[in-house]
Amino acid sequence: MDCREALPLMHEYLDGGLKGREALALKEHLLVCPACRERLKQLEKVEALVQAWPQQEVPSGLTERIMQALPPERRKQPWWLWVRRHPAASVAAVFVLVMMGSFISLWNEDTELLVKGSDLSSVVIKGDTVYVPEGKTVAGNLMVENGKVQVDGDIKGNIVVIDGTVAMASTAHISGQVTEIDQAFGWLWYKMNDWVSTISQAK
């Protein structure tokens, strides 16, 4: 037994609840450990002081006054009561969950290469890679989904790559931003922004 194990046994001994093998083990430890013997003496002195301390009488009615001053306990309402009181919010929450689930399932199932842009005449597609050859210029934005983009020429616009990668040669020049979307929620956020910008342009 070490000193860390002996300390809780000392407290149990002082409370009068230490018996059997544990009492014997503590006794053996105290015989060989002067630090624990000293600690037990100090604990015995503290307990003697606590027991000798005169007990104060609690004023009558103090407990009742304290209990009355406490704020009333708020009852937790079951979730189905909230649903019953807010049917529109409940339907909206279920709709959002279903839509998010369908978006994520579409994200996982969709593996077909998709290329979008206003000027695709300068773009070469080989397998799952979209090339912008050196000396060629794409006038506008380029979006590639489920594929790789290799830029050796110029792009006068933005590049958005969804679930793919972008590689640029030293001869490449892109006037806009390069955005890579690898997560389902990032893809959902991009789609929502695209939808909002489409509606605002239509107005």
Chain segment 18-73, per-residue pLDDT in tens:
888 888 888 888 899 999 889 889 988 888 887 777 766 667 777 788 888 887 77
pLDDT at 191: 64
Burial of 76 (0-12, 13-18, 19+ CB in 10 A): exposed
pLDDT at 184: 56
Residue 80 lies in a domain: no
Give 7's pLDDT tier (boundaries 50, 70, 90): confident
Residue 98 lies in a domain: no
Spatial separation of the C-alpha atoms in residues 131 and 160, rounded to whole Å: 14
**Structural domain count of the chain:** 2
Residues 197 and 118 in one domain: yes
Helical ranges in 33-181 per DSSP H: 34-52, 62-69, 79-85, 87-109
Residue 65 lies in a domain: no
Helical ranges in the chain per DSSP H: 3-14, 20-32, 34-52, 62-69, 79-85, 87-109, 184-202
Give the domain extent around 31: 3-52
Spatial separation of the C-alpha atoms in residues 168 and 164, rounded to whole Å: 14
**Do the strands 148-151 and 114-117 form a parallel or antiparallel pair, or are they unpaired?**
unpaired
> What type of residue sits at position 195?
W
Q: Which two tokens stand for residue 198?
A: 């489409």
Residues 48 and 118 in one domain: no
Residue 117 lies in a domain: yes
Residue 188 lies in a domain: yes
Residue 83 lies in a domain: no
Residue 125 lies in a domain: yes
pTM for this one? 0.40
Spatial separation of the C-alpha atoms in residues 11 and 22, rounded to whole Å: 12
Q: 116 with 99: CB under 8 angstroms? A: no
